[in-house]
Structure 1
Amino acid sequence: MSLSSSISLGSSSTASVDASPYELVDGVPLDWSGRGTSHVDYIKSDTLPLIQGQFLGHGMHGGVYETTCNGIALAWKRKYCARRVGQRERREIEIIKRLQHPHVIRLVGTYTHGPFLGLLLWPVATCDLANLLEDVDWLQKPIQGQDQMEVDDIPTEETPEQIGERQARLQALGLSTTSMEEARDQAIAYLERTIGCIASAVAYLHTQEIKHKDLKPSNILLSAKGLWVTDFGTATDFSILTTSATEDGERGTPKYFAPEIAVYALSGRAADIFSMGCIFLEIITLCVGYSLQQTIQLRSQNDKSFHANLDAIHAWFNVGRIASRTSADEHMMGLIRRMIEQDPDERPSAGIVIEEVVLISGLASALSNSMFCNPCCGGMSESESADLWLQSQQSQRLPAPLEMSIIVGNTYEQRQPHLHTYTFFITVSNPDLVEKVHLFLHQSFRVTHRVYEQHPVTFQGWGWGSFDISAYVVLWEGCYWDHPMARRVPHGNARRMLPLFWSLSFEQPRLDRTQTVAVRSVR
Structure 2
Amino acid sequence: MASPRDIPNPVETTTEGIGGHKNAEVATKVIEILNGAGYSEHIALVLNEGVTDYWLPIPKHTIMPAKLLDYITFEAFKNAQSPVLEKSYELDRTHIPLDTQATYEWNGVRYPKSLIYKRYLGEGGAGIVVEMQVAGGTTYAVKRIPRKTKYHEAKSQLRSIKQEIENLKKINHTHCIEFMGSYSDVKEIGVVMDPVADCNLDRFLSEFDHTGPDNRIVLASFFGCLADALVYLHWEVNIRHKDIKPKNILVKKNRIILTDFGISLDWSEQGHSTTNQEVLRSPMYCAPEADAGQSRNRKSDIWSLGCVFLEMSAVLRGFSPNFVKTKLGNSYFRHNLDGIRDAISAVRQQGPLDNYNPLELEWIEQMLQFENKKRLTSKELQLAISRSVSDPPFCGTCCNTEPAELYDNKTTKWHGVTVRRDNNVSGAWISKRLVDLYHLEVTSQQATLIINVGGRQLVSDTKADVRFILDTANHVENAECYVIPASFDLLIGTPTTVANNKWMGTP
**TM-score past 0.5 threshold:** yes
Which residue is 1:501 aligned to?
none
Establish whether residue 211 from structure 1 lines up as the match of residue 240 from structure 2. yes
1:46-195 equivalent positions in 2, closer than 5 A: 47=103, 48-49=111-112, 50-69=115-134, 70-80=136-146, 81=148, 82-84=153-155, 90=162, 93-136=165-208, 139-140=209-210, 181=211, 184-195=212-223
Alpha-carbon distance in structure 1 between the residues aligned to 2:168 and 2:93: 15
Query: What displacement does 1:282 show?
Result: 0.9
SS in 2 for 1:292: coil
Query: After superposition, what is the alpha-carbon deviation per residue over 1:294-316, rounded to whole angstroms, capped at 9, x for unaligned?
Result: 3233212xx52211111332356
* Amino acid across the alignment from 1:253: S
Question: Of 345, 356, 376, which aligns to 1:348?
Answer: 376
Secondary structure at 1:187 match in 2 = helix
Task: Quote the residue 2:387 is aligned against.
Answer: 359
AA aligned opposite 2:240: K
Verify the 8 A CA contact 2:220 2:393 in the aligned structure 1. Answer: yes
Question: Quick one: structure 1 residues 206 and 32, their matched pair in 2 at CA, closer, same or farther if it must change by over 3 Å?
Answer: farther
Structure 2 counterpart of 1:372: 394
Is the 8 Å Cα contact of residues 13 and 42 (structure 1) preserved in structure 2?
Answer: no
Seen in structure 2, the aligned counterparts of structure 1 residues 55 and 310 have a Cα distance that, compared at 3 Å, is same
In the aligned structure 1, how far is the partner of 2:315 from the partner of 2:93?
45
Count, aligned residues: 343
RMSD, matched Cα: 4.4
Q: Within 1, Cα distance between the matches of 2:88 and 2:99?
A: 17
Shift of 1:226: 2.1
The one-letter amino acid of 2:259's match is: T
The aligned residue for residue 5 of structure 1 is: 28
Give the whole-Å Cα distance in 2 for the aligned partners of 1:315 and 1:37: 46
Partner Cα distance (1:314, 1:519) in 2: 51
Query: Residue 495 of structure 1 corresponds to which residue in structure 2?
Result: 493
* SS state at 2:191 partner: strand
Task: Indicate the residue corresponding to 2:429 in structure 1.
Answer: 388
Please report the TM-score for the alignment, with normalisation by the length of structure 2: 0.57
1:268-326, Cα deviation, whole Å (9 max, x unpaired): 111110111111111112112222343233212xx522111113323565697353768
Q: Is the 8 A contact 2:96 2:182 kept in 1?
A: yes
Cα distance in 2 between the residues matched to 1:121 and 1:282: 27
Kindly, what percent of the aligned residue pairs are identical?
Answer: 25
Q: For residues 377-424 of structure 1, what are the alpha-carbon distances to aligned partners after superposition, in whole Å with 9 as ceiling and x for unaligned?
A: 127679986771899xx9699xxxxxxxxxxxxxxxxxxxxxxxxxxx
Q: Which residue identity is paired with 2:94? A: S
Q: Deviations over 1:257-276 (max 9, x none)?
A: 11112333221111110111
Amino acid at match of 1:65: V
For residue 91 of structure 1, report the CA deviation from its aligned partner. 6.8
Which amino acid in 2 is paired with 1:190?
Answer: V
1:41 aligned to 91, 94, 97, which one?
97
Quote the offset at 1:36 in angstroms.
6.2
Assess, with a 3 A threshold, how the Cα gap between structure 1 residues 263 and 53 changes in structure 2: closer, same or farther: farther
Contact 1:259 1:307 in 2 (8 A): yes
Change in CA separation of 1:356 and 1:109 when aligned onto 2, cut-off 3 Å: same
* Aligned counterparts of 1:384 and 1:94: Cα–Cα separation in 2: 41
Are the aligned partners of 1:277 and 1:336 in contact in 2 as well (CA < 8 Å)? yes
Deviation string for 1:17-70 (max 9, x for gaps)? Answer: xxxxxxxxxxxxxx9814967321135676242332201111122321011123
The answer to whether the Cα contact below 8 Å between 2:423 and 2:494 also exists between their aligned partners in 1 is: no
Relative to structure 1, the CA distance from residue 497 to residue 290 in structure 2 (aligned partners, 3 Å threshold; closer, same or farther) is farther
CA distance in 1, matches of 2:345, 2:495: 30
| Secondary structure of residue in 2 paired with 1:108 | strand
Q: CA deviation at 1:186?
A: 2.5
Instruction: Say if 2:335 is the partner of 1:308.
Output: yes
Contact 1:12–1:42, Cα closer than 8 Å, also in 2: no
- Give the Cα–Cα distance (whole angstroms) in 1 for the partners of residues 499 and 334 of structure 2: 47
| Aligned 8 A contact 1:15 1:39 in 2 | no
Cα pair distance change 1:395/1:133, threshold 3 Å? same
How does 1:117-516 map onto structure 2 within 5 Å?
Answer: 117-136=189-208, 139-140=209-210, 181=211, 184-207=212-235, 208-224=237-253, 226-234=255-263, 250-300=279-329, 304-314=331-341, 317=344, 321-323=349-351, 329-360=357-388, 363-364=389-390, 368=391, 370-378=392-400, 388=429, 495-496=493-494
Local SS of the residue matching 1:373: coil
1:13–1:41 CA contact under 8 A, matched in 2: no
Q: Provide the secondary structure at the position in 2 that maps to 1:101.
A: coil
Q: 2:316 and 2:500 mapped to 1: Cα distance? A: 38
- Helix, strand or coil for the counterpart of 1:79? strand
The 1:493/1:189 distance shift into structure 2, 3 A limit, reads: closer
SS at match of 1:265: coil
- Structure-2 change in CA distance of 1:14 and 1:72 (3 Å): farther
Q: Is the alpha carbon distance of 1:75 and 1:395 closer, same or farther for their aligned partners in structure 2, counting shifts above 3 Å?
A: same
CA distance in 2, matches of 1:313, 1:36: 45
Which whole-Å CA distance do the structure 1 matches of 2:199 and 2:426 have between them?
A: 32
Task: Detail structure 1 runs of 4+ shifted over 4 Å in the superposition.
Answer: 7-11, 43-46, 84-92, 315-320, 324-328, 379-387, 394-397, 517-521
In structure 1, distance between residues paired with 2:228 and 2:138: 26
Shift in alpha-carbon separation, 1:40–1:235, aligned structure 2, 3 A: farther
CA contact (8 A) 2:140 2:196 kept: yes
97-106 vs 43-52, greater mean Cα deviation: 43-52
1:132-153 Cα shifts (integer Å, max 9, x gaps): 10011xx35xxxxxxxxxxxxx
TM-score (ref. length: structure 1): 0.56
Report the Cα distance in structure 2 between the residues aligned to 1:56 and 1:246, rounded to whole angstroms.
Answer: 34
Q: 1:205 & 1:13 partners in 2: Cα distance?
A: 39
In the alignment, is the contact (CA less than 8 A) between 1:57 and 1:64 conserved in 2? yes
Q: 1:337 to 1:324 in 2, by over 3 A?
A: farther
Structure 1 regions of 5+ residues with no counterpart? Answer: 17-30, 141-180, 238-244, 398-481, 485-491, 499-516
Change (3 A) 1:37 1:276: closer
Q: Which protein is bigger by CA-based radius of gyration?
A: 2
Q: Quote the offset at 1:350 in angstroms.
A: 0.9
Q: Which amino acid aligns with 2:196?
A: V
* CA offsets 1:324-348 (integer angstroms, 9 cap, x no match): 7688833311011000110111111
Compared CA separation, residues 396 and 347, structure 1 to 2 (3 A) = farther
